[in-house]
Amino acid sequence: MLKDKYADRIEKIFAKYADKRSAVMSLLYLAQEEYGYVTEDACAEIAALIGTDPTQVRSIAGFYTMFREEPKGRYWLQVCTDLPCALRGADKFYEELLQELGIEDGGTTPDGMFTVEHVMCLAACDRAPMLQCNFHYHEHLDMDTMRALIAQWRAEAGVLAEAAAVGDAPAE
């Protein structure tokens, strides 16, 4: 339960606002961090915490693009293909990235490593092509730097998987 595991963080979030409802987005981020995506149970938990009903929480989650309502790849790549980036080659970059990973627009690699989506302007238009990976920006990309990043992420995930196999990963 978020309530027990993150009691301190939740208290801090509530302290910011005159109304507990304002905490809904922060709590959705927290749930996403914990469960990987916004689960039905998480919506019920959050609703209980802020004193509303789960449907309301679900509708908030659905309204915004940064909340995932289903599981996604370990690395969630959101490539900007909006007009200013597209003028600097973002559409082509996006197609090549999909090809490199062998998936379609919005798809996830079979090993569950990468989900790739295209998104609207991320306020980085002067540094196109660019993408956001798990909420961090990578800018001035080309396919060479992209291949290096993919290799780095695969290696990182490999290390994590090994750690999990010997049992240091948090039990969940």
Partner 1 sequence: MAEHILLRDLDVPDIKAFDVYVQHGGYEALRKAVGMTPAAVIDVVKASNLRGRGGAGFPTGVKWSFIPQSEPVKYVVVNADESEPGTFKDRQILEGNPHQLIEGAMIAAYAIQATAVYIYLRGEFWDIAANLDACIEDARKEGLIGPDVLGSGWSCEMYTHLGAGAYICGEESALLNSLQGLLGQPRVRPPFPAQKGGGLYYEATVVNNVETLTNVPWIITHGAEEYKKIGTPESPGPKIYCLSGHVAKPGNYELPLGITFRELIFEHAGGIPDGKQLKAILPSGASGPVLPATDAVLDTPLTYEAVAQIGSTLGSASIILMDETVNVAWAASKMMKFFAHESCGKCTPCREGTYWLRRRYEALLDGRAQARDIAILDDVASQMTGVTLCALGEFAVNPVRATIKHFRADYEAWIKQEAAEDKKAAKPAPAREKAAAR
- Should residue 1 be labelled a site residue for partner 1 when binding is judged by CB under 8 A? no
Binding mask 46-65 for partner 1 (x = CB under 8 A): ----x--------xx--xxx
Residue 11 CB, nearest approach to partner 1 (Å): 14
| Alpha-carbon gap, residue 157 to 58, rounded angstroms | 30
103-130 as b/e, with b when 16 or more CB fall inside 10 Å?
beeeebbeeeebbbbbbeebebbebbbb
Contact residue for ligand FES among 48, 125, 143, 157 (CB under 6 A)? 125
CA distances from 95 to 19, 45, 80, 132, 134 (A): 45, 39, 12, 16, 20
Q: Which is nearer to ligand FES, 74 or 132 (CB)?
A: 132
Number of residues that bind partner 1 (CB under 8 A): 45
Given the rule CB under 6 A, which of 44-52, 122-130, 148-156, 164-172 is the region that contacts ligand FES?
Answer: 122-130
Residue 26 partner contact from partner 1, ligand FES, none using kind-dependent CB cut-offs of 5 to 8 Å: partner 1
Q: Which residue has the tokens 């959705």?
A: 28
Which 2-31 residues touch partner 1, going by CB under 8 A? 16-26, 28-29
Tell me whether residue 80 or residue 150 sits nearer to ligand FES (CB atom).
80
Half-sphere exposure of 36 toward its Cβ, with a 13 Å CA cutoff?
10
One residue of 126, 142, 156, 162 binding partner 1 per CB under 8 A: 126
Tokens read off for 6: 């993150």
CB under 8 Å to 31, separation ≥6 — which residues?
2, 38, 39, 42, 45, 46
Q: Between residue 143 and residue 172, which ones bind partner 1 under the rule CB under 8 A?
A: none
> 54 preceded by cis ω (within 30°)?
no
79 interacts with partner 1 by CB under 8 A: no
DSSP helix/strand/coil, 142: coil
- Which stretches of the chain bind ligand FES, using CB under 6 A? 80, 82, 84-85, 121-125, 128, 130
